[in-house]
Structure 1
Amino acid sequence: MARILNDLPRWLVIIVWLIGNIVYFVVTYFNFLTRDYDYTNLMLGPALPWARASAACLNLNCMLILLPVCRNLLSAIRGSFQRCCIRNIRRQLDKHITFHRYIAYMICVHTAIHLGAHIFNVERYVEAYNSRDEARRDLLVRLSSLRDNPTAGTTYLNFIDSPNTDAVKEALKTLSGVSGVVITLVLIVMVSSATELIRRSYFEIFWFTHHLFIIFFIGLIVHGFQGIVRRQTNVAEHDPVACMNSSSTWGTPGGCPNPQFAGLEPNAWKWVAGPLAIYFIERLVRFWRSKQVVVVSKVVQHPSKVFELQLKKKGFKMGPGQYIFLQCPSLSSLEWHPFTLTSAPEDDFFSVHIRRAGDWTEALAKACYVDDGEFQSSRKMPRLSVDGPFGTATEDIFWYEVDVFVAGGIGVTPFASILRHIWHKHKEAKADMKLRKVYFYWVCPDTNSFEWINDLLKNFDQQMAEEGLGEFLNYYIYLTRGWDKNQAQNIILHEHEDVDPVTGLAQKTHYGRPNWDKIFQDITKNHPSTSVGVFFCGPGVLSMTLHKMCNKHSTVGGTKFFYNKENF
C-alpha cells in the first residue's frame, strides 16, 4: 500500500520512459540492418546500428531534457491540475529536477555508446582501402573508390578519399566530427559541475557552465547536416545480394548499375525545435519579469549571518512555501539564485531569508547595507529582479487532515511562510478547513540556527494561548550538536522553568536526533485511518529516512503517509 502511495506513480513514469528508450533503440537498431544499409554495414560492421540507435535515443532524451526545467510551464500545469486530477499525479511535478537528472544520465549513456561506435566506424572507413577480409577486399576498395560523378552515375559511400591517412585527422575535418567533440566536452563539463558538491559550494560555477547547453544544442542540431552515414537509394535496380559479388562489372553493359547512395537526412532539429521554442518563451517571460520594478521595503539583519529582504512588486501573488529566483544586475547580469519565500500570502510584502555563504550573497549583503545596522532609503538599494513565484509540494498542505512538517537546518525557510499561512487560514475558517492538526519538527546542528525564527514561534505560542488553540500546532526542535559543558549545565539548571533555556519558547528543545520510528508510531496511534501529508525540506540523507518511514507506517485501511519533498 505504501509503495503505491509514494513510489508507484514515480516508478510508472520512469518505467514508461525506460521502455520508450529501449523500444526506440531496438526498432532503430533493426532498421539499420535492412537492405538499404547492406553496403554500409559491410564496410563498417556491427558498430553502425549501435551508433544510429543511440543517436535516435539521444534525440528523444534531448527533446525531454528541457521540459522539466521550464518552471513557468510546470506552474501552469500544476494550476490546471489542481481541481481535475488526483494528488498523486500532481505530486509528480514536484520531482521535475529528479526527472531532469535521470534524463541527463541517459544522455550520458547514449553519448558514450554513440561515441564509442563511431570511433570504430571511422577506423573501418580507413581500413576499407586495405581490408583484412581477403574475400571482400576488392568489393570494399570498389565501394571506397566511388565518388560523386554525375557523368558516371556514381555517388560516394566512404567519406575518406585516401587510403593513407589518419582516422582522427579525417574525423576532425568533418562537421560531424568537430561538433561531436564539442558537444561531448560540453556535456562532460555540464554534468561534472552539476554534482552536489559543486552546486552547493560553488553555485556560480554550476550556473554558468549549465548555460553551455546553448552550445550543446547548436552542436546537436548541426551534427548530422553533412550526412556522412549513407544509405543506398537504388536497391530496386541494384540488389546488394545479387550484385555484391560482381563489383568489377558495375556500370557496364550486362552488369549491375552502380549503387547510388545518399546521406541520412538530419532530424535532430525536428526533435528539439518544440522544446527549444517552449524554453525560449520561458526565457522571454523571465526577461519580462526582470524588467518589472521590485522595491526593497525593509532589510533585517538576523544572527548566524542571515539577513532578510522584504520586497514589494506590483501584481505579485504567492502561495505558501513557494520560491523565487533573485537577480541583482549590479552584481551579475546573468546569475539568478533560488530562495524560498518566508512571508505568508496574507502579508503586504514578500520576503526571503538569505544566508551569507558565498561571494554573491556577501556582495548582496554589502549592496543592501546589511552591516550598517539601519535601513537605508529604498532609493539607495540596488535594483533587484524577481522571477516567480514557482509552485512546490507545499501548496498541497490543505489536502490532508494532518500535516507533518520536517525541516533540516536552513530548510526551515519555507515553513516560516507555511506556518504563517496556516495560522491565518485556521483563524479565518476553523470549521471549513480539512486540516485539523500540524506537527512541526526542526532538526538543527547548533543553537545559532534557532535565532532568526524564534520570534515567529513565540508569536504562535502567544496567539494559540490567547485563542485556546494550543492543540492545533505542536512543534519540536532538535539540537544535534553545538553545546558545550557550560551550556549543558545551564540547560540542566533551568530545566524546570516554563520556557526553554536555549530558545525561550514554551515547548522545550530536544537534544540529539529524533527517533523517527517512534514519532511515526505515535502519529499513527493518535490519528488512525487518517491521511497524513509529510512535507520535508533539508538534506538528502534525512529525506531518505523520512521516505522510508512513510512507506513503513502506511497501512491498508489505516493511517496513510504521503511523502512530499521540497525541490528547487
Structure 2
Amino acid sequence: MGYWILNETTTFLILVTWLGLNAYLFIDTFIWYENADLYYYTRVILGSTLAWARASAMCLNFNCMLILLPVCRNCVSVLRGTTVCCRGDLRRLLDKNITFHRLVGYMITLHTAIHIIAHCINIERYRVSQSVEAGELGNILANIGNQSSENYLNPIRGYNKNIIKEVFVSVAGITGFVITLALVLIITSSTELIRRSFYEVFWYTHNLFIIFFIGLVIHGAGQVVRGQTPQSMVLHNLSYCKDHYYEWGETAQCPVPQFSGNKPATWKWVFFPLVLYTCESIVRFWRSKQEVVITKVITHSSNVLEIQMKKSGFSMEPGQYIFLQCPAVSRLEWHPFTLTSAPEEPFFSVHVRAVGDWTQGLLAECGANRTQSLEPWQLPRLAVDGPYGSAATNVFHYDVSVCIAAGIGVTPFASVLKSIWYKYCSARNAMGLKKVYFYWLCRDTHSFEWFADLLISLEEQMSEQGKTDFLSYHLFLTGWDENQAAHIAFHCDNDLDVITGLRHKTNFGRPNWNKEFRFIAERHSGTSIGVFFCGPKSLSKILNSMCRLHSSSDPRGVHFHYNKESF
C-alpha cells in the first residue's frame, strides 16, 4: 500500500477523474434525454434507446477530444521541461502518455459499440412505428411530415422501405459506417502482435484517424434524432395534448407538433485538439525538411547498424528518442529509435536492428550487406523528428538508479552510460547520481559485442577515478550451447570475462529478481531508488511487482519508483 501511495497516487487521481467525467457525462445526458419534454414524443417511438444513443455520443465527443492530446509529443516535451513537471509523480505521469492514449481509445470503442447498438434498435423502432402494432399515437407521430407544412419526427418515411438502403443513403449512415470501419482498423492494428511484427500496417492504418475525425464532424449533420422545436413546445400544450392526440390540428390548444434535429456539436469538442495536432504536424514537417548529414555508418553483429548523424540546432538529453524517416524506403513511414549517443558527443546516433521490412530496407540502403562501405554521397537521405523525452531521461533525478534492459532494449541506457562517462571525464562533474546498477539480459553472446566497448571504457574510467563502486554491471546470458559452456568454464579463472572482456563476470541464466532487489534495498535503506526498464511486457510485470514488494510502507524507508520505456 505504501508503494502504491507514493508511486501511483497522481496516476490514480487522473484515472478516477477521467472515469468520473465519463460516468457523469453519460448519466447526466441519459437522465436528460429520459425526462426532457422536448423528446417526449421521440421517446414514445424509441423508448430508452434514445437516451443510450445520446449518452454514448456525449462520451464519444469527450474522449475524441482527449485522444490526440497525449500524442502531441512536442507539447508533452514542453511540459516535461517545466519546473512543475521536472521530477516526481508528474514527470512519471507524462511518461505514461501512450498508455493513456490507449485507454481513451478503448473507451471510444466501448461507447461506439453502445452507440451503434442503440441506433440499430432505434432504426427498427422507427420502422415499426408505422405499423399497427405501434399503436395509434405511434402511427400519428410516424406520419407527421407527410404534409408540406409539417416537420417530420420519423426519418424512415414508409413501413415497406428497405432499411439498409435508407440508412446508407443518409449522411449519418454513410459517415457512421466510415467512422466505424476506420476505428475497427485502427484498434485491431494497434495490438502488440501487429505493432511488433507488422509495424508498417500499424503505421498506415493509424493514419486513418484523419478520415475518422472528418467523418465524426460531419456525422451529426444527418440530424437523425429529432425533438420538438422550442416554438412548438410553447404552442403545443404537452401535458394536455399528449393524452388528446386525436385533437391535433383541430384545435388551437393542440396544433400538430413540429420537430427538428440537433445541430452538429462535435466540432466544438474536437476543434482545439485538431488545431493543436495540426500545429504539431507542421512542426514535424518543418523538422523533416531540415538537412541531416550521416557522418558514419557502423555495422555491428546481430544485424545491428549504428548510424551517426549531425543536424543543425539538434539538442538532446540522455535517454531521449527520435523518429526516423528514410524516403528511399518509404516516404510516409516514421519509426521511433532511442538515441544511443550522449549529449556531450559531436553527433547523435541510433542503433537499428533488422526486424522488419522497413529496418531491413534501411540497412540495405546504408550498405550493411555490402562488402565495401558506401561513399558519403551514396548514403540515403534521412529525416529526423525529435528528440522527445522518455522514462530513461529521469535516471539522473535519483540518488540511486537501477537500469534493466533486455536485448536491444539496452539502447536507452547506452546514451545514459555514455553521458555518465563524459561527466566523470569532466573536471566540473556535479552529478547528483551516486550509484547505478545496470542489468542486461541477452539470449546469445553476439548481442553483447556492440555494447561491450562502451562498458569496458566506462569500467576503466571508473577505476582511474577511484569510483569502482559507482557502477555495478550485472550481465546475464540466458541462452548458450554446450560448446560455449565448455569454453566459458575453461576460462572461468581469467581476470577478465571471456565474453565481454569486463572485470564483472557474465552470469548465466535468468536473475533472481527477488534476491537482487532485496540486496539493493538493504544497501540503500531510506533512499528513493529509480528503476528503469526497456524490454518485453512479461518481464515488466515482474519488475513492477518487485518494486511494490521491496518498497517500505514507512515513508522514511527505501522506495522503488518503477519507470518503463513506452513510445
Residue 58 (structure 1) aligns with: 60
Preserved contact between residue 331 and residue 360 of structure 1 (Cα < 8 Å): yes
Looking at structure 1, the residues matched to 364 and 320 of structure 2 have their Cα atoms a distance apart, in angstroms, of 26
Note the alpha carbon deviations across 1:5-34, whole angstroms, 9 max, x for none: 222221211111000100000000011121
Residue 41 (structure 2) aligns with: 39
Looking at structure 2, the residues matched to 141 and 83 of structure 1 have their Cα atoms a distance apart, in angstroms, of 62
Residue 560 (structure 1) aligns with: 559
Looking at structure 1, the residues matched to 253 and 313 of structure 2 have their Cα atoms a distance apart, in angstroms, of 78
Note the alpha carbon deviations across 1:49-77, whole angstroms, 9 max, x for none: 00000000000000100111111111011
Residue 499 (structure 1) aligns with: 496
**Alignment partner for residue 508 of structure 1, among 502, 505, 509?**
505
**Alignment partner for residue 271 of structure 2, among 247, 264, 273?**
273
Note the alpha carbon deviations across 1:78-136, whole angstroms, 9 max, x for none: 112x4566511121000011001100000010000000000000000000011424xxx
Residue 246 (structure 2) aligns with: 248
**Aligned positions of 1:163-178 closer than 5 A:** 163-178=159-174
Secondary structure of the residue aligned to 1:522 is: helix
Letter in 2 for 1:28: T
Looking at structure 2, the residues matched to 386 and 15 of structure 1 have their Cα atoms a distance apart, in angstroms, of 37
Residue 463 (structure 2) aligns with: 465
Tell me the TM-score normalised to structure 2 length: 0.96
**Alignment partner for residue 225 of structure 1, among 221, 228, 233?**
221
Kindly tell me: are residues 521 and 289 of structure 1, through their superposed partners in 2, closer, same or farther at Cα, counting changes over 3 Å? same
Tell me the TM-score normalised to structure 1 length: 0.96
Note the alpha carbon deviations across 1:315-361, whole angstroms, 9 max, x for none: 00000010000001122110001000000000000000000111111
Residue 359 (structure 2) aligns with: 361
1:109 pairs with 2:106: no
Looking at structure 1, the residues matched to 429 and 213 of structure 2 have their Cα atoms a distance apart, in angstroms, of 54
Looking at structure 2, the residues matched to 191 and 453 of structure 1 have their Cα atoms a distance apart, in angstroms, of 36
Looking at structure 2, the residues matched to 121 and 379 of structure 1 have their Cα atoms a distance apart, in angstroms, of 64
Deviation, 1:431, is 7.1
Kindly tell me: are residues 191 and 416 of structure 1, through their superposed partners in 2, closer, same or farther at Cα, counting changes over 3 Å? same
Letter in 2 for 1:508: K
Deviation, 1:510, is 0.6
Kindly tell me: are residues 493 and 566 of structure 1, through their superposed partners in 2, closer, same or farther at Cα, counting changes over 3 Å? same
Residue 50 (structure 2) aligns with: 48
**Aligned positions of 1:253-402 closer than 5 A:** 253-402=251-400
Residue 537 (structure 1) aligns with: 534
Preserved contact between residue 301 and residue 373 of structure 1 (Cα < 8 Å): no
Note the alpha carbon deviations across 1:426-480, whole angstroms, 9 max, x for none: 4436874221111000011221211110111111122122222111101110111
Letter in 2 for 1:496: D
Kindly tell me: are residues 429 and 562 of structure 1, through their superposed partners in 2, closer, same or farther at Cα, counting changes over 3 Å? farther
Residue 421 (structure 1) aligns with: 419
Preserved contact between residue 6 and residue 551 of structure 1 (Cα < 8 Å): no
Aligned length: 561
Secondary structure of the residue aligned to 2:96 is: helix
Preserved contact between residue 187 and residue 216 of structure 1 (Cα < 8 Å): yes
Note the alpha carbon deviations across 1:272-314, whole angstroms, 9 max, x for none: 1110111111110110001000000000000001010000000
**Alignment partner for residue 548 of structure 1, among 542, 545, 551?**
545
Residue 518 (structure 2) aligns with: 521
Looking at structure 2, the residues matched to 355 and 385 of structure 1 have their Cα atoms a distance apart, in angstroms, of 18
Looking at structure 1, the residues matched to 257 and 123 of structure 2 have their Cα atoms a distance apart, in angstroms, of 21
Preserved contact between residue 403 and residue 533 of structure 1 (Cα < 8 Å): yes
Residue 25 (structure 1) aligns with: 26
Q: Taking every aligned residue pair, what percent have the same amino acid on both sides?
A: 51
Preserved contact between residue 531 and residue 562 of structure 2 (Cα < 8 Å): yes
Letter in 2 for 1:500: D
Note the alpha carbon deviations across 1:498-538, whole angstroms, 9 max, x for none: 11122222110111111111111111111111111111111
Preserved contact between residue 237 and residue 253 of structure 2 (Cα < 8 Å): no
Looking at structure 1, the residues matched to 333 and 483 of structure 2 have their Cα atoms a distance apart, in angstroms, of 44
1:179 pairs with 2:175: yes
Letter in 2 for 1:165: K
Secondary structure of the residue aligned to 2:298 is: strand
**Aligned positions of 1:133-172 closer than 5 A:** 133=134, 137-147=135-145, 152=149, 154-172=150-168
Looking at structure 2, the residues matched to 351 and 468 of structure 1 have their Cα atoms a distance apart, in angstroms, of 30
Looking at structure 1, the residues matched to 526 and 443 of structure 2 have their Cα atoms a distance apart, in angstroms, of 34
Letter in 2 for 1:244: K
Letter in 1 for 2:79: I
Residue 433 (structure 1) aligns with: 431
Looking at structure 1, the residues matched to 429 and 155 of structure 2 have their Cα atoms a distance apart, in angstroms, of 77
Looking at structure 2, the residues matched to 552 and 58 of structure 1 have their Cα atoms a distance apart, in angstroms, of 38
Looking at structure 2, the residues matched to 432 and 83 of structure 1 have their Cα atoms a distance apart, in angstroms, of 22
Preserved contact between residue 500 and residue 507 of structure 1 (Cα < 8 Å): yes
Looking at structure 2, the residues matched to 530 and 131 of structure 1 have their Cα atoms a distance apart, in angstroms, of 77
Consecutive unaligned residues in structure 1, runs of 5 or more: none
Kindly tell me: are residues 317 and 26 of structure 1, through their superposed partners in 2, closer, same or farther at Cα, counting changes over 3 Å? same
Q: Mean Cα displacement is larger for which, 328-337 or 371-380?
A: 371-380
